[in-house]
Structure 1
C-alpha cells in the first residue's frame, strides 16, 4: 500500500508532466474541478483541470467536484505512472471515474 505522501507526489508529478507537454494541453480542453479519493488510505485531494493543466492540488475532498477519481493507493500510482491502462482499470473496477461521458472521453487522453 502506498502512502498519502506518495499519492500526493504522484498527482504533482502528473501536473508537472502535463505542464511540460504542450501536446497534452492541446488535447484536453476542459475546465473542471477534480477530486481524487484514495479509498484504502481514507485520503482525498482536489484541484482543477483547466487549459490542459492540473492546478491547485491540495489535500481534502471536494464533494462538488465535476470529476471524481476513486482508487486504491497502489492503483492510483500505477495509473499515473502508466503501468495501468485506464480503460481496463475502469472496466475491471480497479478505479472509478465519476464524470459526464464527454468529459470521460477527454480524460482518457490525460492518462
Structure 2
C-alpha cells in the first residue's frame, strides 16, 4: 500500500504530465474544474483545481471529500501510483471498477480523450 506522500507525489507527477501533453490530451485537460481524488485504503482525500492543464492548490484531508467536486476520482493508493507511473492503464482500471470517475456529461466527453 502506498502512503500519503507517495500519493501526493503521484498527483504532482500527473500534473507535470498534463502540462507536457499536446494535441487532444492538452485540450481535454485545459478545463477549469474542482477536483477530488479519494484514496480509499488510506481514508484520505486530495482536493484541488484542474486549471489550464495542471492540478493546482492541492490539499489533503482525512475521510471523504467535504464538498462535491466537479471531477471526482476514487481509487486505492497503489492504483493511483501505478496509473501515474504507467504500470496500469487508466482505461483498463476504470473498466474493471478499480478506478471510479464521476463528472458532468460534458466533462466526461472531454476527459475520455485522456483515457
TM-score normalised per structure 1: 0.85
1:25 matched residue in structure 2: 26
Helix, strand or coil at the partner of 1:2: coil
Shift of 1:62: 4.6
Structure 2: segments with no counterpart, 5+ residues: none
Equivalent positions of 1:48-63 (< 5 A) are: 48-60=49-61, 61-63=65-67
Give the length in aligned residue pairs: 111
Question: What is the aligned-residue RMSD (CA, Å)?
Answer: 1.8
Q: Residues 83 and 90 of structure 1: is their aligned pair in 2 closer, same or farther, counting only changes over 3 Å?
A: same
Shift of 1:35: 0.2
Matched, 1:41 2:42: yes
Following TM superposition, the consecutive aligned residue runs of length 4 or more in structure 1 with deviations greater than 4 angstroms are none
TM-score normalised per structure 2: 0.83
Shift of 1:110: 3.8
Shift of 1:72: 0.6
Q: Residues 84 and 62 of structure 1: is their aligned pair in 2 closer, same or farther, counting only changes over 3 Å?
A: farther
Structure 1: segments with no counterpart, 5+ residues: none
CA distance in 1, matches of 2:53, 2:83: 18
